[in-house]
Chain A
């Protein structure tokens, strides 16, 4: 597809490298020559220097031949104007804008058509939603949902005292007493597609798929604490914190925010009547103790500085806080921190670029039936959801009789919205929803592609 990306900032540059790797024709618009030069050297893209909201610049970037425009500059107003102009020049173009100011949420929803918007992303809000999901169902580092929320792929890290250490996957059922499927394991940064004789070690990150009910049983039998989160401590009071506090208030949790800037504190206190907002430096351990870090059920570090977030999270882990979530701005820092006790890691720019990449794939797959796509195992594999059609080959044949591609695994089959963990005798029928896990990114475009 022919895609224009306006703005080469955090989200823009992540998108460029991801979409270029998937073989799209990309044009990047930015006013900053240094940004453009760096991007041209790293990825196979065309660059246009200028103001992305100006008609001239958009015409130079051949907006009339483009299929999609992604406006990801750091200014909402510029993004909106950019999408409006592009839509005015090319009626058939899809547009995605990054809109982060909550004050615009309503008008964007109501005036979508006059803005010419197809889709909006709000990195902070999406990160907040992701964190909320983790806090509502604690125990896992990450959850991706399929089949309308009935099937999930979760990330589980094995600590040194886990019951699963030294156990082969084929023996796993005896310990966890729940039907689950391990579809990928990341060990020391390398992803594996495990077979039955794969023996688990401390530090492994498992990607498990199962119906949601089975996952709850898994956590219980593993002895992972699933106590409901009641007291949450948010370190840092920026936008994510604001959105998150709103969400958590609705869920009935008790939220404390520590923020350094007194004006920001004032604003938060005004806007969030239920939350307790306190002024202070969260790198100060005495201050954290004062706010009751030791008795918190969860600590989320959300300051703008990665190092600070990591330090505070390490301290929270040392104080035996049951659930720790760390926001990391640069994904490469997240990979570096893999061996540290930072709990779940949330990277807003990867979340929003992930959402955009999913939109792009959905646009591409309009004829095939990929419903959802999630990148798992640190981006080394992906899980794709398909609807089985009448003309899908091998319907009704048992899985053990099918020849699949070596890097493909059928993770779940749902019939009438009842998900199952597939076995050798399982079959899929028209109307079923199937979740596939594959290590080849972007190679499985339709369900027919999985057969060898």
Chain B
């Protein structure tokens, strides 16, 4: 392991977090929230000290960056971001306990949106801004951001290993030959769409700071609300805008790049996008039929169904209605969508539509194989045969996913909640969605859990965001062995 290089890299990450906190500080100053100002100043002093303490001994780190360093760096960067980022919550007294603050921050960075806070309106507004901002930066990924802005080209293999570890999806590729250029294109698309979303929200007469926070939550597919009832008390226009943008941010960003290039044909023919849209429309239709008696008009029924499908499928986690009161069938569909998540290469979490599609297709192949053992069959996506290693990885991913799900479920069952609440709680955190069902439903929060359960769910959120393996290898002895 090249510890010096990793130290240098991690010091850059914490310096970046310092810069990220400046807007929050400015907001605190302009709103005159003295408690928040002090909290941010103290945090930034600590971050500055930490950065220097890491940078000074490590600044001359070499440049040999292997796959191990890439993965460990990625997980370490996210853990450091979370630990440093939770300090303002503690210092401002919003969430005085470390475990609560950490849960909230990890929930932010991993774009989960599960909260331990019962009353967010009591938070200073600058703290609310910081809480939502973590969604935005966590959505596209902080390492990708660092890649886009850092000078120089990086050492050999430096960038690819990092991107692989952070980016969601079964098969990570580049849009253009240069990694840095790819990272810039991704962020420019992200920023452009975020601004568009913000403009639409402001047109609906939303308070500017609320609009910014809601945009952060939508763009990162996070889902921290600025009100206790999430988006339920906002106008139908705001809800519809958010629905559309949640769907848009759940689409693979390379599709947008292809659209910018004018290559509409490959976008329309993209299997993952088609499957994603199919799932969306089918779910909305089924849910709308199932819940039609609960709402007065068809408009309301459709709006709520679409919003809930959007929020769960894109793994945002906003809510406009208490879907825990919906009939079982509708809730079942939502639980299924939780696992599917958004497209690969988007800001959404979950298993990813691409991976689910691969798993279903390889399952279909295996069934046919049983009936016709001599037949040679290939799994195709977008008309191209999929490499067997990609399929193997998807299967391994599912196995790891289920293992972690079961273990966390066991820990959470000690709380004595119903099986439905516990299972949905674990699923929602592992897939970075936000709300669960029953006792952890959209009107409730995670504040009542024990510290052990909170820490387990915190770990689940990180594991889900980084797609399991970067975190798991931290616990492997081979990782730390000398080469």
Nearest CB to that of A2 among chain B residues? B177
Which of the segments B157-165, B282-290, B363-371 contacts the partner chain? B157-165
Which of the segments A40-48, A192-200, A213-221 contacts the partner chain? A40-48
Nearest CB to that of A44 among chain B residues? B179
Interface-centre pick from A23, A33, A41 (highest chain B CB count, 10 A): A41
What are 27 A-to-B residue pairs whose CB atoms are below 8 Å?
A2-B177, A23-B153, A25-B176, A25-B177, A25-B178, A25-B181, A26-B177, A27-B177, A33-B387, A40-B160, A41-B157, A41-B160, A41-B161, A42-B156, A42-B157, A43-B156, A44-B153, A44-B154, A44-B159, A44-B160, A44-B177, A44-B178, A44-B180, A45-B177, A46-B174, A46-B176, A46-B177
Nearest CB in chain A: distance from B218 CB, A: 31
Across-interface contacts of A33 in B (CB, < 8 A): 387
Nearest CB in chain A: distance from B390 CB, A: 11
Across-interface contacts of B153 in A (CB, < 8 A): 23, 44
Considering only residues 1-44 of chain A, those with a C-beta below 8 Å from chain B are 2, 23, 25-27, 33, 40-44
Across-interface contacts of B154 in A (CB, < 8 A): 44
Chain A's interface size range is: 10 to 19
Nearest 10 CB-CB pairings of A with B: A25-B177, A46-B177, A41-B157, A44-B179, A26-B177, A46-B174, A45-B177, A44-B178, A27-B177, A42-B156
Bound together, the chains give a CA A208 to CA B126 distance in angstroms of 67
Across-interface contacts of A23 in B (CB, < 8 A): 153
List B residues at the A interface (Cβ < 8 Å).
67, 153-154, 156-157, 159-161, 174, 176-181, 387
Bound together, the chains give a CA A2 to CA B177 distance in angstroms of 9
Bound together, the chains give a CA A260 to CA B226 distance in angstroms of 82
Starting from the known contacts A25-B177, A44-B160, A44-B180, 6 additional A-B residue pairs (CB-CB under 8 Å) come to A25-B176, A41-B67, A42-B156, A43-B156, A44-B178, A46-B174
Contact with B along A37-69 (1 / 0, CB 8 A): 000111111100000000000000000000000
Nearest CB in chain B: distance from A49 CB, A: 9
Across-interface contacts of B181 in A (CB, < 8 A): 25
Bound together, the chains give a CA A45 to CA B179 distance in angstroms of 8
Nearest CB to that of B158 among chain A residues? A44
| Count: A-B pairs, CB below 8 Å | 29
Nearest CB to that of A50 among chain B residues? B384
Nearest CB in chain A: distance from B392 CB, A: 14
Across-interface contacts of A25 in B (CB, < 8 A): 176-178, 181
Nearest CB to that of B181 among chain A residues? A25
Interface of B, helix, strand, loop or mixed by DSSP: loop
Bound together, the chains give a CA A33 to CA B161 distance in angstroms of 17
Nearest CB in chain B: distance from A147 CB, A: 34
Interface of A, helix, strand, loop or mixed by DSSP: mixed
Nearest CB to that of B389 among chain A residues? A33
Nearest CB in chain A: distance from B159 CB, A: 6
Across-interface contacts of B180 in A (CB, < 8 A): 44
Nearest CB in chain B: distance from A250 CB, A: 44
Bound together, the chains give a CA A113 to CA B355 distance in angstroms of 48
Bound together, the chains give a CA A23 to CA B181 distance in angstroms of 12
Bound together, the chains give a CA A41 to CA B66 distance in angstroms of 9
Across-interface contacts of B177 in A (CB, < 8 A): 2, 25-27, 44-46
Nearest CB in chain A: distance from B436 CB, A: 39
Nearest CB in chain B: distance from A440 CB, A: 15
Across-interface contacts of B174 in A (CB, < 8 A): 46
Across-interface contacts of B159 in A (CB, < 8 A): 44
Nearest CB in chain A: distance from B7 CB, A: 23
Nearest CB to that of A37 among chain B residues? B389
Across-interface contacts of A45 in B (CB, < 8 A): 177
Bound together, the chains give a CA A33 to CA B160 distance in angstroms of 16
Across-interface contacts of B178 in A (CB, < 8 A): 25, 44
Nearest CB to that of B159 among chain A residues? A44
Nearest CB in chain B: distance from A213 CB, A: 44
Interface-centre pick from A2, A27, A44, A46 (highest chain B CB count, 10 A): A44
Across-interface contacts of A43 in B (CB, < 8 A): 156
Nearest CB in chain A: distance from B146 CB, A: 16
Nearest CB to that of A26 among chain B residues? B177
Across-interface contacts of B156 in A (CB, < 8 A): 42-43
Nearest CB in chain B: distance from A345 CB, A: 25
Bound together, the chains give a CA A413 to CA B344 distance in angstroms of 59
Bound together, the chains give a CA A27 to CA B177 distance in angstroms of 6
Bound together, the chains give a CA A41 to CA B179 distance in angstroms of 12
Bound together, the chains give a CA A45 to CA B157 distance in angstroms of 10
Bound together, the chains give a CA A46 to CA B180 distance in angstroms of 12
Across-interface contacts of A44 in B (CB, < 8 A): 153-154, 159-160, 177-180
Nearest CB in chain B: distance from A100 CB, A: 28
Nearest CB in chain A: distance from B213 CB, A: 36
Across-interface contacts of A40 in B (CB, < 8 A): 160
Nearest CB to that of B156 among chain A residues? A42
Across-interface contacts of B176 in A (CB, < 8 A): 25, 46
Nearest CB to that of B154 among chain A residues? A44
Across-interface contacts of B387 in A (CB, < 8 A): 33
Bound together, the chains give a CA A33 to CA B179 distance in angstroms of 20
Bound together, the chains give a CA A42 to CA B154 distance in angstroms of 12
Nearest CB to that of B384 among chain A residues? A49
Nearest CB in chain A: distance from B262 CB, A: 12
Bound together, the chains give a CA A41 to CA B178 distance in angstroms of 13
Bound together, the chains give a CA A25 to CA B174 distance in angstroms of 12
Bound together, the chains give a CA A42 to CA B176 distance in angstroms of 16
Interface-centre pick from B67, B156, B159, B177 (highest chain A CB count, 10 A): B177
Nearest CB in chain B: distance from A68 CB, A: 13
Nearest CB in chain A: distance from B304 CB, A: 43
Across-interface contacts of A2 in B (CB, < 8 A): 177
Bound together, the chains give a CA A27 to CA B181 distance in angstroms of 14
Bound together, the chains give a CA A68 to CA B294 distance in angstroms of 64
Bound together, the chains give a CA A350 to CA B159 distance in angstroms of 27
Nearest CB to that of A33 among chain B residues? B387
Bound together, the chains give a CA A41 to CA B177 distance in angstroms of 13
Across-interface contacts of B157 in A (CB, < 8 A): 41-42
Bound together, the chains give a CA A2 to CA B178 distance in angstroms of 11
Contact with B along A347-364 (1 / 0, CB 8 A): 000000000000000000
Bound together, the chains give a CA A245 to CA B71 distance in angstroms of 54
Nearest CB in chain B: distance from A47 CB, A: 8
Bound together, the chains give a CA A140 to CA B309 distance in angstroms of 76
Nearest CB in chain B: distance from A227 CB, A: 46
Nearest CB to that of A43 among chain B residues? B156
Bound together, the chains give a CA A44 to CA B159 distance in angstroms of 8
Nearest CB in chain B: distance from A141 CB, A: 29
Across-interface contacts of B179 in A (CB, < 8 A): 44
Across-interface contacts of B160 in A (CB, < 8 A): 40-41, 44
Bound together, the chains give a CA A41 to CA B174 distance in angstroms of 12
Across-interface contacts of A27 in B (CB, < 8 A): 177
Nearest CB to that of A28 among chain B residues? B177
Nearest CB in chain B: distance from A89 CB, A: 16
